[in-house]
Amino acid sequence: MKAAKFYGIRDVRIEDIPEPTIESGNDVIIKVKAVGICGSDISKYGKTGPHLPGEVPGHEFSGIVVEVGPNVKSVKVGDRVAVCPSLPCFQCDFCKQGIFSECESLNILGNHNHLGAFAEYTKISERNLVKIPEDIDFETAAGMEPACIAGHGLFRAKVKVEDTVAVLGVGPIGLFLIQWAKIFGASKVIAIDIFDEKLRIAKELGADFCINSKICDPVAKVKEITDSKGVDVAMESAGTSQTCAQVLLLPRKGGKVLYAGVPYSDVTFSRDSFEKIMRNELTLIGSWFSNSFPFPGREWYSALRYMREGKLKVKPLITHRIGIEDIPATLEKIYKREIFFGKIMVIPEE
């Protein structure tokens, strides 16, 4: 089968590799129908490189069950599924408590020797599968994983009805944070980014105010919108040193900061930003992966529900649809900043 193999920084090659086979009783073989390119895939391509040379990335995906192991009960051949790519050990103390995001050896499909979804077929345990009905298309189902990453953050931040929320950085995760904030009952959602194209999508998906931080001071603008109080919950989803510090300036006294973006360089705070944590008695919340008990968690079944109700949308995020063979060239265009993109969806049959 055709797959995109990742050998090093800016080195992804399309190769023919063997199709996966059933090796344990709970294995399920999935024919990949749609897979999104994650921001982590982009950072690995241009900055950090693969965990293991020759690995096949890809973890935001959906597909069709084509073969099952002898012990599989929850799905059958022909079922349409969204796939949770998280690979906790289920054995450590944290896993036994159902805190899978804090697993001592947490991994994810597409890292090391775990065959990812930038391929025509992949394999995973049945417990990682969520069956999807006919009214959920494969692209929407492939967006379930990043949607659940955002949803996990909202559950951790305990956003309440009538809260005012700011989302700093409206890439795909930020756009899902906006939608979840509305689902949780936020009265005002403020989107902040440096790209008008992203802010237009944010507005379409429910943001009440959009601030281009290249044009005006976002901290001053948030103060203006909130009558100088600040927001109840400020969410960082850009993962830059600047935004990781700036987000501390947005909440009200006693407010919360949710860190949902992944930085790929060192983060430094000014004294003013750091002192906000103490002087405003802020609560800082980290968020990692997309799971809760029972695995894969309430995030996944909540996402499925709200996708069916039209409250959690994926299609407005999609800016490109490509085939597997287009992955290397597309990643290189992103690296060279030759294209504007939101969510890039890989369709293996394209």
Domain coordinates of the chain in residue numbers? 2-143+314-346, 149-286
Is the CATH code 3.40.50.720 the one for domain 149-286?
Answer: yes
* 2-143+314-346: CATH superfamily: Medium-chain alcohol dehydrogenases, catalytic domain (3.90.180.10)
Please give the C-alpha separations between residue 305 and each of 11, 150, 300, in angstroms, as whole numbers. 39, 15, 9
Residue 277's pLDDT is 96
Please give the C-alpha separations between residue 214 and each of 68, 196, 205, 218, in angstroms, as whole numbers. 52, 10, 22, 9
d(CA 250, CA 237): 14
Residue 234's pLDDT is 98
* Fold agreement between 2-143+314-346 and 149-286: no
Exposure on the CB side of residue 150, measured as CA atoms within 13 A: 29
Residue 160 corresponds to which amino acid? K
* Dihedral sign for Cα atoms in the order 213, 216, 217, 219: negative
Residues in the chain, pLDDT under 70: 350
What's this model's pTM, rounded to 2 decimal places? 0.96
